[in-house]
Structure 1
Amino acid sequence: MPPSAVSYDQQFLEGLVLDLAAIDEGISTELGLQILVAMCCASKRADLVPSLFQNALEKADRSKDSILELFDSFRETINMIWPFVCVPQVIPAALGLAGYLQSKGITTLDQNKNRNRPDFTQEDTELGKATRRSIYKASANNEVFEMLSTFYGDFAYALNTVGFGYNLGCTNDYKLPLPAAELIVTSALIALPATRQAGSHVKACIAFGYSDADITRVAKMAEKLAAWQGYNLTPINVMLLAQQARSNLKVA
């Protein structure tokens, strides 16, 4: 991180999560923490994530089971967002968490719970295509993937197989429904900021049943995190995107 980067502020960061989850049951505190992890990575502050992890453990019993349960949640967040925000954005978080586990004598993981397959299969590719269609059904931007497939076939294959198949398509196997996973990815894109991609994913969240108010709170959280770091994000017009999403769903 740059020398001018703001220092970790537990009260401020925990307040973001509490504010996000306080209004209704659309976003739980657990999901709010995953959203904050995603935003920190996207805003080039993945170094904050290990401290978030340790602070979250203060509310648990710090047993090995509690540590691994929370690690699973953080790991899944990192796994979902890295194709969308870039590998260097998440490495400080990934290594920091791994280092903490090692410091507690945890040097291996249960292979039945760990994403540790040696290769990918055609099933991953087909799952990725289906997951991608489900996510973008409210976006009306099929031409984007047609262009990628035509001119960047290997990129499109990797994105379908890994990003949408193995990463996002399998989240339900790890107790995270696809709508919640999509909200996490959307939050990362808002914080990045990747304006066009964020807009498409906001529409996906609306299609998955999140309310305009839910998405607005996520966007406001990203704006507060950016302001805390000394810069501003261009506000996202959630109401307009929601209207477009609902219109596209009627046509589809």
Structure 2
Amino acid sequence: MSALILVAEDDENQAELVRRYLEQDHHRVVVVHDGREALEVVRAQQPQLVVLDLMLPGLGGLDVCRALRAGKDESGVLVLMLTARSTEDDLLHGLGLGADDYMTKPFSPRELVARVRTLLRRRPAARPAPLLRVGPIVVDPVRHEVTVRGAPVECTPGEFGLLEVLASEVNRVFTREQLLARMHGFDSYLTARTIDTHVKNLRRKIETDSRTPEHLVTVYGIGYKLTAGRADAP
């Protein structure tokens, strides 16, 4: 069972190890290193499961879990907590906030993958992800399809990942660093230069004139945003 999984872990080496094992098990993985970014990704991309470290900077894992369970649209996401703490009180606190499972460090990556499989099997069938519509552009996250004015557009996984992130928050300006974090798992060789290449290629596919883009717009000195465009705006 393939799923979109968010790994929220401040230890970059640990996060990379978890990402590799989950991707080998055919999951798409997004990695973040602080709690506030974890909440942003859950709300924007709606992963099926979050591997959540408790000791996150900015906003701790327990606070992230509490916010997820209180949210209207995020309350159903599965949460697998990771922590160096192993006392009974810590475990009960985490589970009391709504965590679905709990692993203490150090842990076996293979056991983590097995726990993830078990959690995903328990999860009830989810509602299909809504279509993302931006002017004439429609992104279907479930079928991994893009259409522009009703015509299908072929996209590479990296191009699709970039377009999906931008379409999830219309008119929001994303820096390259934010796009790199959100797209992790779509493109094995993702760099800031790769982002620029994907933008260039997407403009050829979705814009009427790629030299004067109306939809995939550069915000100089910051990054990129996706907009409905002048002609298609209400």
Identify the TM-score tier after normalising by the shorter chain. Answer: 0.3 to 0.5
The structure with the largest helix share of the pair is 1
What's the TM-score once normalised by structure 1's chain length?
A: 0.32
Higher strand share: 2
Higher RCO (CA-CA < 8 Å; seq separation 6+): 1
